[in-house]
Amino acid sequence: MKLTQEGNIFYEYIAAGCAQFFKGENNLSNLISLENGTIYISATETALHCYLFEAVRDFNILYPNVHFKILNNSTTDSVNALKEGKVDLAVVSATLQVTPPLKMKIVKKYRDILIGGNRFEKLKNREICGENCA
C-alpha cells in the first residue's frame, strides 16, 4: 500500500499530532500499569507516621518508578483536597462519614494515650471516653 500525493501532504500535517497522541496513550497506559507516574496523597501527621511511610516504602519496592507527592494536612483539609481532585487519596487518623463517590476503608487501628503531668493524676488508669470518642 502506498500513499497518494495528497495522502503524503496530509500525512506531513498530522504526523506530529499522531506522535503526540500515541505518546500520551503510552503514558496513560504506563500510569494504569504502575510502571511510572506520581500518586498524590494528603495525610494527617498521625497517619503519616503510623501507617503511610511504611506503606509507601513497601509499595516502592514493588513499583520503583512510581513517585509520591505527599501533603501533610488536617483530616478535614485532606478530605476536601480529595473532593476537589487535588489528590488521588487521603489517609487520615479519624473516622468520619464520607458521601459517594468517596469511600472510606480502615487500614490500621491505633490507640491514643495521654501523657501528662501531676495535673492529670486523677485520670490515671482510666479510659476517658472509649468507643464514644470522635
Same domain, 16 and 53: no
Burial of residue 23, with CB atoms counted within 10 A of its CB: 0-12 exposed, 13-18 middle, 19 or more buried: exposed
127 with 75, same domain: the answer is: yes
DSSP secondary structure of 17-58:
HHHHHHHHHHHHHHHHTTSSEEEEEEE-HHHIIIIIHHHHHH
pLDDT at 134 over 70: no
Q: What is the pLDDT of residues 82-119, one digit of tens each?
A: 888 899 889 988 777 777 888 878 777 777 666 778 88
Does 77 share its domain with 96?
yes
pLDDT digits (tens, 9 = 90+) for 2-50: 879 888 888 777 877 777 777 777 666 666 666 778 889 999 988 888 8
Q: Look up the pTM and report it.
A: 0.60
Shared domain for 18 and 82, answered yes or no, is no
Question: How is residue 54 written as a grid cell?
Answer: 511504611
Q: Which domain holds residue 108?
A: 38-132
Which amino acid appears at position 6 of this protein? Answer: E
**Which of 14-28, 44-58, 67-81 is predicted with the least confidence, judged by mean pLDDT?**
14-28
77 lies in the same domain as 92: yes
Distance between CA atoms of residues 11 and 18, nearest Å: 9
Same domain, yes or no: 44 and 22: no
Residues 6+ apart with CB under 8 A from 60: 66, 68
Residue 61 grid cell? 519496592
